[in-house]
Amino acid sequence: MLLKARTLNLISRSHPQRALNVNHLSHYFALFTTTIAGNTKQSDSPDPDSSESPDIPSWVTNQNPESQPSEDDDFVIPSLASWVGNHPKVKPFASATEKPQTQLDIFTQILKKPYSSPEEVVDTLNRSSLSVPSVSVNRLWKRFHDCWISAYGFFIWAKEQTGYKHDPQSYSFMVDILGKGRKFDLMFDLLEEMNQLKGYINLYTIVKVMRRLARAGRFSEAIEVFRRVEEYGVEKDIMALNGLLDALVKGDSVEHAHEAFLEFKECMTLNSSSFNTLIHGFCKARKLDDARKILKEMKEYGCQPCVVSYTCFIEAYCREKDFEKVDSVLDEMKKKGCTPNAVTYTIIMHARGKSGTIRKALEVYEMMKNDGRLPDSSFCSSLIFILSKGGRLKDADEIFEDMEKQGIKPTVLTYNTMISLACEHSLEEKALKLLQRMEEDSCKPNVFTYKPLLRMCCRKKRMKVLNVLLSHMLNNDVSIDLSTYCVLVHGLCSCGKLEQAVAYFEEMVLKGMIPLDSLRKKLVETLEKENMTEAVEKIQRLMSNVTAK
DNA sequence: GTAGGGTTAG
């Protein structure tokens, strides 16, 4: 036994049903509860989509074929309490109450419709006799973050209204939305407009621009923005250079990052972030010799390699499943007096868990504990993930329940992990209850919260719940991005809901998003099999418009 | 926004 066997002292708590803040979800829980309370084995159970899903949901029978005991089931996981000790408990999270904002709703309704151009949005708004909403503009940017036509149309219209002026933050949002939509000419025009306004551009704006360019593979243009950064009134300092390096590395071109580094390193004093960003980039690109060269250069420059530098190497060796090398880096760190932290341990535990038995992963858990390092929410999320993947759902649930008691507040990552695992196992009620709990915890969901839920709804043909989730997304200002549309189109296609699949495909294209050809092919092929000729023609018309533009 | 999302949209 490698780990000290302790009694798993995690008390499962019952969670009394609390009133929901969002009516839609509440309505659906009522339906689910009725299903559980009634005899669910009867064919006339009041399932929300009963006509389409005659099978009893697995969460009712509580049987999960995928959660069979694994070979590591004899391992007892030490409780978080035995580690964290008497850490003060977090206060109960405030409830996510928000009154419906009428103005926001009105604008959302208008902007949600598909438009062919921002000018069309402006025309519609001009005919509406509406005035610019006073408080909810920032929420509109979030809601339409993936729809540059609506957002930009609203931006232009609002700017033309008497007495209204966009603040620098709105400009910054708009620049980012245009960058995300890859409308770089418009993005640069807006940046120039901000420049004329004086004081509207800051480093944050510039980094956003560089990130969007790098994400689109426009590396040279990103570097050019940095070259001209002073023309935008932003200081050409190490913060800006590090922003550029990070943008290029995140855009998957450590080569361009290195070029930029060589071009500008003489102009300013570098810091450890500059070197670490490059080390990370080379490690991610599996160019470990280059990463080592940078580490050497870092030392020669007078910057001491730190936990971040070493962790990049550890991550690279973890990716190669070379755990001997991981151990040798840990030894080197120890010799240098550089203690691994929660990030280092999370990476190793996660890789161990993914590559084989949970046993090795749990050794990392023990190692970290012996080092006196406290777990954080990311560490716990990782632990929950690997436990579930190893079939130990109950242990994963207990870690989740224990987090709050130990003062480790679950974050959106923790909830996303729990929700996606529940969805993978088709535990519908559990997944939705987690979303509800997230809301009660004032933990804002993001696009990754909804994707597995939407996928599950398609798989189970729960069209009503799917629509509830889509409104829930909107209420939480999470816009449907390209990949989420793909989940919808794919999912609906696979479950035979072809009309809905076509509708979402159309919506996506009309919003200016360009789907991968594989998605179009899958949809068209499925439609052809069903002889839906008109729909096929519609798809082809839509796509020819896209290529024509 | 210097390192840790299972995140593949498939």
| Nearest nucleotide (CA of A345 to C1') | B4
> The tokens of A325 are what?
């090398």
User: Average pLDDT over chain A, rounded to whole?
Assistant: 84
Check whether residue A483 has its CB closer than 7 Å to nucleic acid strand B: yes
Q: Which residues contact A335 (CB under 8 A, 6 or more apart)?
A: none
pLDDT score for A66: 38
Q: Per-residue pLDDT averaged across A527-547, rounded?
A: 91
Residue A476, CB, strand B, below 7 Å? no
Residues lying close to strand B (Cβ under 7 A), chosen from 44-103 of chain A, are: none
Q: Which of the four pLDDT bands, split at 50, 70 and 90, describes residue A8?
A: very low
Q: Which residue is nearest to nucleotide B2 (CA to C1')?
A: A273
Q: Is residue A38 very low, low, confident or very high in pLDDT (cuts 50, 70, 90)?
A: very low
Find which nucleotide's C1' atom is closest to A522's CA: B10
pLDDT at A396 over 90: yes
For residue A52, the model assigns a pLDDT of 42
A124 touches strand B (CB under 7 A): no
Cα separation, A432 vs A418, whole angstroms: 11
Report helix, strand and coil shares of chain A as percent, to nearest 5: 65, 0, 35
Hey, where are the domains in chain A?
381-467, 481-549
Q: Considering only CA atoms, name the residue closest to the C1' of nucleotide B3.
A: A308
Nearest nucleotide by C1' position to the A274 CA atom: B2
CA–CA separation, A472 vs A492, rounded Å? 19
- Measured between alpha carbons, how far is A514 from A325 in angstroms, rounded to an integer? 43
CB atoms within 10 A of CB A9: 12
Q: pLDDT for A179-219, tens place per residue?
A: 999 999 999 999 999 999 999 999 999 999 999 999 999 99
What CA–CA distance (Å, rounded) separates A232 from A230?
5
pLDDT of residue A512: 86
Average of per-residue pLDDT across A57-74: 36
pLDDT score of A281: 97
As separate numbers, helices (DSSP H) first and strands (DSSP E) second, chain A gives 29, 0
Pick out residues 348-367 of chain A having their CB under 7 A from any atom of nucleic acid strand B.
350
Q: Which of residues 271-290 of A touch strand B (CB under 7 A)?
A: 272-273, 276-277, 280
Distance B4 C1' – A122 CA (angstroms): 44
Round to a whole number and report the distance in Å from the CA of A164 to the C1' of B4.
44
Tokens of A537: 């023609």
